[in-house]
Amino acid sequence: MGRADDGGSSRTRAVLIDPATMTVLWANEAALGAAAAGVFAGAPVDEAVPMAAELGIVDAVARVAASGEPHYARADLIPTRRGSMVLAISLDRLPDGHVLVLMENAWQHAGRRAPGSAGRPRTS
């Protein structure tokens, strides 16, 4: 589902993974055009998913394929005092046993934080 201002294209990247080989079977247009290139049929999952090693995505794909339980991962990419750009990833097993990986960058506004937890401390 696209947004009205982007000509109908989705900014959510979708990649279908074969858990037996840990390779990409299919990727949507947003994933194929992603700056993180390396997304093509036959590409290893760790090249197709941003921050795969840091987020344990290869192990998560194996767990999701074996258990059927979905997995969610999130990483702050650009933290600021007002919020952060986050990478949100969800993994779901499909009825055929393949794992669908959905990825989206999104802005998350900062909630009320404890003093000193982000940015410079304020002075009174």
How sure is the predictor about 113, in pLDDT bands with cuts at 50, 70 and 90?
Answer: very low
Q: Which residues contact 19 (CB under 8 A, 6 or more apart)?
A: 61, 62, 64, 65, 97, 98, 99
Domain boundaries, the chain: 7-109
Rounded CA-CA distance 87/14 in Å is 13
**Does 116 score more than 70 pLDDT?**
no
pTM for this predicted structure: 0.74
- The pLDDT tens digits for 91-110 are 999 999 999 999 998 777 77
DSSP alpha helices (H): ranges in 4-117? 29-32, 45-48, 52-55, 57-67
The answer to whether 24 touches 13, Cβ cutoff 8 Å, is: no
More confident residue, 2 or 103: 103
Rounded CA-CA distance 53/91 in Å is 15
Instruction: Tell me the sheet residues that pair with 86.
Output: 76, 106
DSSP class of residue 94 equals -
Token pair belonging to 30: 């947003």
The structural architecture, per CATH, of the domain 7-109 is 2-Layer Sandwich (3.30)
The rounded mean pLDDT for the chain is 80
Region 79-96: what's the mean pLDDT? 87
The strand pair at 23-27 and 13-18 is best described as antiparallel
How sure is the predictor about 38, in pLDDT bands with cuts at 50, 70 and 90?
Answer: low
Amino acid at 32: L
**Does 122 score more than 70 pLDDT?**
no
pLDDT of amino acid 111: 65
